[in-house]
Structure 1
Amino acid sequence: MTAPTTQTAPAVSSKVLRVPAADPATAAGHFHRRFTFEADVSDVHADIESGAGGFVLVDSRSAEAWEQGHIPGALHLPTDEIADRAAALVAPGSVVVTYCWGPGCNGATRAAYEFAAAGYQVKEMLGGFEYWAREGFPVEDTAGTRQSAPDPLTAPIRAGATCGC
């Protein structure tokens, strides 16, 4: 008489862990470095609202995009003009936060590079104008300032609620 055979499920390979996670110290360094290069729209909005400031917010899009809507108080300086005009518009030593359309666009990254190459400290606003508007923050255009309800996929919709991050 032969012993019954048992079947085991085949090992499933993890797509997430096919490259192992970094050790905690390396991960902490990586994520800290990201904070030195990036800010999100909620933090930019909170600083503008509180008056904390300390940075110049720059919209790096075209004139047509700017007219379609922009963040109130932002400086309009298209990427291709940064090298020639930044020194006249942005005080030396200023920290600059750049934005463009949204996460599908690397225009803010190109603008951040131009400012860094010109000697400025700079951060890129993650999410860009798209997420600013989607989170329900004020938008200014040729007709004035408007504000839409937050998109529930990007921000809490209850008045006064925050994402808590």
Structure 2
Amino acid sequence: MTLTFAVPAADPTTAAAHFLDRLRFHTDVADVHADLTAGVPGLVVVDSRGAAAWEQGRLPGAVHLPTAEIAARAVDLVPAGSRVVTYCWGPGCDGAVRAALEFARLGYPVKEMIGGYEYWVREGLPVVTAAGSTRRPADELTAPRPVVGCDC
């Protein structure tokens, strides 16, 4: 007996609906990077971490808006009609989920960037610090070394 299919897979129609729903709620670092590079209008990337984390490094062009401040400050920092992507530290943190929930409650179309800041850095993408823009080499466990992205 196979362990992978010890519980049978969903029928293809149900599976397609499930995977489409996942894509409605999540995006990944490669897609966010591509959209930021292309200058997609109306996209606002929100860093929901605290001040110390923001100072350590952040995505280029990100708006700093800690989760606890979203309800009070979002309307001043994020234009109405913007499409919002939230991120926090990484996959071990629900900060981006909580931030996305706050934006959804305020009526913004929103997605969580899976992998968060951790995978952005691990994939060798640029970050901004007080010293300027920098990037680390791609971690071969998250991205192929000579290029950014998995080409999927």
TM-score using structure 1 length? 0.88
**Cα distance, 1:53 vs. partner?**
4.3
Does 1:32 pair with 2:20?
Answer: yes
**Cα distance, 1:161 vs. partner?**
5.9
- Counting only pairs closer than 5 Å after superposition, residues 52-91 of structure 1 correspond to structure 2 as 52-91=40-79
Q: How far apart, in 2, do the equivalents of 1:126 and 1:107 lie?
A: 11
The aligned residue for residue 122 of structure 1 is: 110
Q: Which secondary structure does the structure 2 equivalent of 1:113 belong to? A: helix
- In the alignment, residue 163 of structure 1 is paired with which amino acid? C
**Cα distance, 1:143 vs. partner?**
1.4
**Cα distance, 1:94 vs. partner?**
1.1
- Root mean square deviation, CA, Å: 1.2
Q: How has the CA–CA distance of structure 1 residues 92 and 54 changed in structure 2, closer, same or farther, with 3 Å as cutoff?
A: closer
- In the alignment, residue 8 of structure 2 is paired with which amino acid? P
**Can you list the C-alpha shifts for 1:2-29, whole angstroms capped at 9, x where unaligned?**
xxxxxxxxxx4x4332321100010001
**Cα distance, 1:88 vs. partner?**
0.9
Does 1:101 pair with 2:89?
Answer: yes
Q: How far apart, in 1, do the equivalents of 2:25 and 2:148 lie?
A: 27
In percent, how many aligned pairs have the same letter? 61
Q: How far apart, in 2, do the equivalents of 1:163 and 1:150 lie?
A: 11
- In the alignment, residue 79 of structure 1 is paired with which amino acid? T
**Can you list the C-alpha shifts for 1:107-158, whole angstroms capped at 9, x where unaligned?**
0000000000111110000100000000000111111111111000000101
The aligned residue for residue 135 of structure 1 is: 123
The aligned residue for residue 150 of structure 2 is: 163
Structure 1 gaps, min length 5: 1-11
Pick the structure with greater CA Rg. 1
**Cα distance, 1:54 vs. partner?**
3.5
Count of matched residue positions in the alignment of Structure 1 and Structure 2: 152
TM-score using structure 2 length? 0.95
Q: How far apart, in 2, do the equivalents of 1:72 and 1:116 lie?
A: 23
Q: How far apart, in 1, do the equivalents of 2:16 and 2:111 lie?
A: 19
